């Protein structure tokens, strides 16, 4: 080190002494290292420690360091440089002074004994340990997360739940991309049961623990919301306890530096809260002032709410997951992500991860792809896992990959899962030899006692609104140690902070629902109509709301409502499974488990309840009159009814349901329908005697869903499938079916993933379906090539009168083709070619051709790239006074000169009601020049 540099370090400490005194915090780490390197002796350390305040201690250290010379001064800075986490406030200063340790100093050892860094390391270690395995595989079957984690579709939504595209990498989840409310602090991840919300969090936590997540969060605290329900009402804890007792405790922190640091730098914290819907709490609890002080003790649920609302640890990063349907106030949400499950390519990846041998993969894929319904079920990762696990079980035990036909319902696959758990326990050494015939009845009969005990435990949990059970409850239900290893239950380690007896939960809430349904079936002590218990509860339940947040953010007047925000999905699932267990398909098995008389009685009761409930639901709905006919908008509960009807397999009930649909258009938009539901919808539709319109916009039905609806298309006059993740293969199905029956009048395919290949198929539908009036195919991936196919078909169609092509990329090539279609078209009244990259070249063609069209009334050309070059042509068209009423030229590139052409032309026109030209290249002053022409709209 040269002399100049030596002088510099000593000098720096003198110059910046006061700043260092105020900013150096972790004193112990500095002392430990100075001592270890022999720069300080024990006595020096003692003198420093004897000083009472922190600032005085730093002063003392600086005094000693400077006395001991330049090398020690440089080493002092080197400690701060190396242990960046602990001296975070000083890092910008080190950069500013351009600190680089000399060769002599940089070889010296610095040990990080800072409590904060050590805590971070401990957090990462524990997080890595807790998240490396997928726990839900039961103790015996732990699987590395790495080995099975598969990406899923994650759609970014805005405040109004409109799509903002898909998450491309997990890092994007935390970043600023698609943030619609910068003031909000919550990244809200929602999705259906088993779609992978918990696994997604686990993956993020695991990446964080490996430092592989793109974030500057150095602390990560994970909570499962169901934990907040196990505290007693009177229990009060501090924020510190919540973090340290229920997550990870700092081992060595005599001066409470970790907590202080957390309070000072909340932005360095990443919280994950899983399963907001699982809070089963009495809101009276919260009828006390909000917690905002970190020192205040409060009920854990209040701490949770204060954290989520940003009243505590404001600016910390928070990811919250919940089941779809739980609405949370937008003001606390930063961005929203909807999990949509496995796409076909994800499913393929998942098969490959599950089945290592090529032959097995092929066999599984063969059976899977032969059944769109099975594929639909498998788009939900949980159900997919169950199906694949069952395949493996069937293969191991019976050398076959064949799922029985009756198993391809939700109840069917849960029965198979249970069978596989039980058959592991019942198989003796000899029977482990592969059997050719599967005997589920024998397996269930042999395990009836355990099945009943599990079922009772599950049911009692649901009754008291709990997903967690303790050892006493388990024993009281008659379950043995051995039963615990079967796989139905898994231990819950997180909640043992008080050293209480071990807690357990079911492998998944849906399995608890399934077993609870089994209890309703097996129970011969209660009266038979107690099977309807949860049906009644669900129909009574109010719409889910966000009152928890209201309490925090508004003055909610209605605080006495019990459990208003808990979802009732788990009860709906129980009802659904009950329908399945009582279905004809499973009678053979059930008759061995419960007396046939009781079984029959329960089945009759259920059928009669379902019939009445379908009737009252459908008759109670208001009907609306629309262009497309008499319309009824069903409520999300209807979907559960349809699912139940399908699960019963009863044609009588399906027929009755269909008969109750008196409207000619049934609207199922925003009902959270996924592809697996389409078989159920199709089942009911099959029993419809008349033609019907089906509006399923804004759901998640995907290509598998469309395939399942195939038999219904013969009677569908309205097919609305916008915003449903459809690709060209769905359009192939539509073309085949719609062209066969030719009854379709309205086709809505807006915002899917249709390319030119699909556009060509839609063109065929337009050409061949003589009743087709409305086609909406905006926001797809159609270029000029597809635009040409569509335009040519429209040109030939005499029935088409409304076409929406907004947001494709047909450009001038497509515009030219549409121009030809418009020339003398007999019927086309409304056309949108907005946001299609059309320049003046395309604009000229369109304007010219339109002169020969007297039927078009509304023409949308918003957000294109037309300039003044084509303005004279539009002016000519305006002068031609063709009958056009609304011309939308918003957000193009016209300047004052082009607009002047239009304004002058308007004087010769009688039909036009408006030309909208807002967002072109005119300043306010220029726009004002045209105020006298009222039909030229700038607003
Ligand atoms: N991305 C994934 N890759 C592989 N397997 C997955 C994935 N997501 C989910 N799974 C499988 O599905 C099971 C259920 O997933 P998870 O518990 O995350 O669902 P969830 O959305 O949290 O459900 P719930 O709302 O009912 O709690 C997992 O245990 C795992 O087996």
pLDDT of residue 75: 95
- Total residue length of the chain: 939
Say how many CA atoms lie within 13 Å of 727 toward its Cβ: 6
Beta-carbon contacts of 659 under 8 Å, excluding residues fewer than 6 positions away, are 687, 689
Q: What is the 3-state secondary structure (H, E, C) of 199-221?
A: HHHHHHHHHHHCCCCCCCCCEEE
* Mutation pick for ligand 1 pocket among 147, 194, 507, 571 (CB with most ligand atoms within 8 Å): 194
Contact 121, 248 (CB under 8 A): no
User: Rounded to 5 degrees, what are φ and ψ at 511?
Assistant: -70, -35
Q: How many CB atoms lie within 10 A of CB 482?
A: 9
195 neighbors 343 (Cβ within 8 angstroms): no
Q: How many CA atoms lie within 13 A of 831 on its CB side?
A: 25
d(CA 934, CA 932): 6
- Out of 382, 488, 570, mutate this one to test ligand 1's pocket (max ligand atoms within 8 Å of CB): namely 382
Q: Assign residue 179 a region (left: φ > 0; alpha: ψ between -120 and 50; beta: otherwise).
A: beta
Residue-wise pLDDT for 493-507, tens only, equals 665 555 555 788 998
Average pLDDT of span 675-690: 93
Mean predicted confidence (pLDDT) in 832-841: 98
Q: How far is the centre of ligand 1, averaged over its atoms, from the C-alpha of 325 (Å)? A: 18
Angle of CA points 929, 930, 934, to nearest 5°:
150
| 577, pLDDT greater than 60 | yes
Write out pLDDT tens, residues 196-246: 999 999 999 999 999 999 998 999 999 999 888 778 888 889 999 999 988
Contacts of 783 (CB under 8 A, 6+ apart): 756, 808, 809, 810, 811, 813, 814
For ligand 1, atom 7, which residue shows the shortest CA distance?
196
Counting from 1 in the atom list of ligand 1, the atom nearest the Cα of 195 is 21
Locate the ligand 1 atom nearest the alpha carbon of residue 277 and give its number. Answer: 25
Rounded distance between C-alpha atoms, residue 784 and residue 786, angstroms: 6
Sorted by where each starts, the structural domains of the chain and their CATH numbers stand as 3-112 (1.10.533.10), 119-341 (3.40.50.300), 344-427 (no CATH), 449-498+512-594 (no CATH), 700-937 (3.80.10.10)
Of 599, 601, 632, which Cα lies nearest the Cα of 618?
Answer: 632
Closest of 322, 566, 320 to residue 464, by C-alpha: 566
Position 142 pLDDT exceeds 80: no
Per-residue pLDDT at 283: 44
Token couple for 4: 């100049």
Alpha-carbon span 510 to 383, nearest angstrom: 10
- Measure Cα distances from 152 to 345, 380, 549, 896 in Å: 10, 9, 29, 50
Ligand 1 site residues, Cβ closer than 6 angstroms: 134, 136, 148-150, 152, 191, 193-199, 275, 323, 381-382, 385, 508-509
pLDDT digits (tens, 9 = 90+) for 383-423: 999 999 888 888 887 777 777 766 689 999 999 999 988 98
> Judging by beta carbons within 10 Å of its beta carbon (0-12, 13-18, 19+), is residue 357 exposed, middle or buried?
exposed
Angle at 464 between CA 461 and CA 468, to 5 degrees: 40
Pairing mode of beta strands 317-323, 143-144: unpaired
Cα 196 to middle of ligand 1, angstroms: 3
**pLDDT grade, residue 6 (50/70/90)?**
very low
For a substitution probing ligand 1, which of 131, 195, 199 has the most ligand atoms within 8 Å of its CB?
A: 199
Closest-CA residue to 332 (of 314, 309, 361, 363): 309
Q: Structure pTM?
A: 0.87
H or E stretch covering 22:
helix 17-23
d(CA 772, CA 800): 6
CB 794 within 8 A of CB 766: yes
- Ligand 1: centre distance to CA 823 (Å): 55
Rounded distance from Cα 269 to ligand 1 centre (Å):
25
Instruction: Encode pLDDT of 248-304 as tens digits.
Output: 999 888 778 899 989 999 999 999 999 998 886 654 444 456 667 888 888 888 899
| Cα 888 to middle of ligand 1, angstroms | 47
Distance 190 CA to ligand 1 centre (A): 12
673-699 burial, b at 16+ Cβ within 10 Å, e below that, comes to bbbbbbbbbbbbbebbeebbbbbbbbb
Give, for 637, the enclosing helix (H) or strand (E): helix 636-648
Start-end of H helices in 709-772: 728-741, 756-768
Whether pLDDT at 616 is above 90: no
Give long-range contacts, CB 8 A cutoff, 24+ apart: 444-449.
444/418, 444/419, 444/589, 444/592, 444/593, 445/592, 445/593, 446/422, 447/422, 448/593, 449/478
Query: Hey, which of 196, 319, 379 would you mutate to test ligand 1's pocket, going by the most ligand atoms within 8 Å of its Cβ?
Result: 196
Residue 445, C-beta contacts closer than 8 angstroms, at least 6 positions apart: 592, 593
- Ligand 1: nearest atom to the Cα of 191: 21
**d(C-alpha 54, C-alpha 393), whole Å:** 64
- DSSP-assigned beta bridge partners for residue 623: 632
Distance, CA 138 to ligand 1 centroid (Å)?
Answer: 14
| Residue 197 alpha carbon to ligand 1 centre in Å | 6
Closest Cα to atom 13 of ligand 1:
382
- The ligand 1 atom nearest the CA atom of 199: 18
In this predicted structure, what is the pLDDT of residue 496? Answer: 52
Tokens of 177: 């991309």
What whole-number distance in Å separates Cα of residue 663 and Cα of residue 36?
Answer: 84
Q: Whole-angstrom Cα distance, residue 642 to residue 676? A: 12
Question: What pLDDT score does 515 carry?
Answer: 97
Residue nearest to atom 25 of ligand 1 (CA): 193
């Amino acid at each position: 080190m040269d002399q100049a540099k030596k002088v510099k370090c000593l000098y720096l400490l003198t110059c910046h002494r006061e700043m260092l005194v105020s900013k150096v915090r972790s004193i112990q780490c500095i002392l430990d290292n100075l001592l270890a390197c022999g720069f300080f002796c024990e006595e020096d350390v003692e003198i420093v420690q004897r000083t009472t305040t922190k600032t005085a201690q730093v002063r003392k250290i600086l005094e000693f360091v400077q006395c001991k010379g330049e090398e020690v001064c440089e080493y002092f800075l080197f400690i701060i440089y190396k242990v960046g986490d602990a001296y975070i406030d000083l890092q910008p200063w080190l950069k500013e002074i351009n600190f680089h340790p000399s060769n002599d100093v940089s070889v010296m050892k610095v040990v990080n004994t800072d409590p904060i860094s050590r805590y971070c390391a401990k957090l990462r270690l524990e997080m890595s340990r807790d998240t490396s395995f997928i726990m839900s595989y039961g103790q015996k079957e732990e699987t590395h997360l790495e080995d099975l984690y598969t990406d899923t579709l994650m759609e970014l939504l805005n405040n109004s739940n409109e799509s903002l595209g898909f998450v491309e990498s997990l890092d994007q989840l935390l970043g600023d991309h698609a943030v619609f409310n910068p003031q909000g602090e919550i990244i809200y991840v929602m999705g259906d049961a088993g779609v992978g919300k918990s696994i997604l969090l686990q993956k993020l936590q695991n990446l964080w623990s490996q430092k592989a997540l793109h974030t500057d969060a150095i602390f990560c605290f994970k909570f499962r919301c169901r934990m907040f329900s196990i505290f007693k009402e009177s229990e009060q804890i501090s924020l510190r306890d919540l973090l340290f007792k229920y997550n990870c405790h700092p081992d060595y922190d005599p001066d409470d530096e970790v907590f202080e640091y957390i309070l000072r730098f909340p932005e360095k914290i990443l919280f994950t809260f899983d399963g907001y819907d699982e809070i089963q709490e009495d809101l009276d609890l919260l009828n006390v002032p909000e917690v905002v002080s970190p020192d205040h003790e409060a009920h854990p649920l209040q701490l949770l709410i204060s954290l989520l609302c940003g009243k505590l640890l404001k600016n910390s990063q928070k990811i919250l997951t919940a089941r779809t349907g739980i609405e949370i106030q937008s003001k606390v949400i930063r961005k929203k992500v909807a999990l949509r499950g496995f796409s076909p390519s994800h499913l393929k990846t998942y098969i490959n991860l599950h089945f290592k041998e090529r032959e097995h993969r092929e066999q599984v894929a063969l059976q899977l792809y032969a059944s769109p319904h099975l594929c639909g079920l498998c788009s939900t990762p949980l159900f997919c896992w169950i199906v694949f696990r069952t395949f493996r079980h069937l293969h191991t035990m019976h050398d076959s990959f064949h799922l029985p036909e009756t198993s391809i319902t939700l109840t069917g696959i849960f029965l198979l899962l249970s069978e596989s758990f039980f058959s592991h326990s019942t198989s003796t050494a000899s029977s482990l030899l592969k059997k050719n015939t599967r005997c589920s009845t024998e397996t269930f009969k042999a395990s009836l006692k355990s099945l009943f005990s599990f079922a009772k435990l599950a049911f009692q949990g649901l009754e008291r609104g709990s997903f967690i059970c303790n050892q006493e409850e388990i024993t009281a239900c008659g379950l043995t140690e051995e039963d615990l290893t079967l796989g139905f239950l898994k231990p819950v380690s997180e909640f043992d902070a008080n050293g209480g007896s071990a807690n357990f939960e079911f492998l998944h809430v849906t399995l608890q629902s399934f077993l609870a349904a089994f209890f309703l079936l097996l129970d011969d002590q209660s009266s038979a109509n107690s099977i309807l218990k949860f049906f009644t509860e669900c129909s009574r339940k109010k719409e889910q709301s966000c009152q928890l947040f209201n309490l925090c953010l508004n003055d909610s007047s209605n605080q006495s409502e019990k459990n208003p925000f808990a979802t009732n999905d788990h009860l709906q699932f129980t009802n659904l499974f009950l329908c399945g267990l009582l279905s004809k398909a499973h009678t053979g098995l059930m008759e061995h488990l419960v007396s046939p008389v009781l079984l029959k009685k329960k089945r009759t009761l259920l059928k009669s309840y379902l019939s009445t409930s379908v009737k009252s639901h459908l008759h109670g709905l208001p009907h609306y009159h629309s262009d497309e006919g008499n319309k009824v908008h069903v409520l999300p509960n209807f979907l559960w009814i349809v699912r139940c009807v399908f699960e019963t397999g009863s044609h009588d009930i399906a027929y009755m349901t269909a008969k109750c649909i008196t409207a000619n258009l049934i609207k199922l938009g925003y009902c959270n329908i996924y592809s697996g539901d389409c078989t159920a919808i199709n089942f009911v539709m099959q029993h419809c005697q008349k033609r019907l319109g089906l509006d399923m916009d804004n759901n998640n039905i995907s290509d598998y869903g469309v395939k399942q609806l195939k038999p219904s298309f013969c009677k569908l006059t309205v097919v609305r499938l916008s915003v449903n993740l459809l690709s060209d293969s769905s359009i192939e199905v539509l073309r085949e079916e719609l062209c066969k029956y030719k009854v379709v009048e309205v086709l809505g395919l807006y915002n899917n993933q249709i390319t030119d290949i699909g556009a060509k198929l839609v063109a065929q539908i337009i050409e061949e379906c003589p009743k087709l009036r409305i086609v909406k195919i905006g926001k797809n991936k159609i270029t000029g090539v597809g635009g040409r196919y569509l335009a040519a078909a429209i040109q030939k169609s005499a029935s088409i009168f409304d076409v929406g092509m907004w947001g494709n990329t047909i450009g001038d090539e497509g515009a030219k083709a549409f121009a030809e279609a418009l020339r003398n078209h007999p019927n086309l009244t409304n056309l949108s070619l907005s946001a299609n990259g059309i320049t003046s070249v395309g604009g000229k063609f369109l304007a010219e051709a339109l002169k020969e069209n007297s039927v078009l009334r509304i023409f949308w050309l918003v957000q294109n790239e037309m300039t003044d070059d084509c303005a004279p042509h539009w002016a000519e068209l305006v002068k031609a006074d063709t009958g056009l009423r609304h011309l939308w030229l918003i957000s193009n590139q016209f300047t004052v000169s082009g607009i002047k052409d239009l304004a002058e032309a308007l004087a010769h026109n009688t039909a036009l009601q408006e030309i909208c030209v807002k967002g072109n290249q005119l300043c306010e002053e220029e726009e004002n020049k045209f105020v006298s022409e009222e039909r030229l709209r700038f607003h």
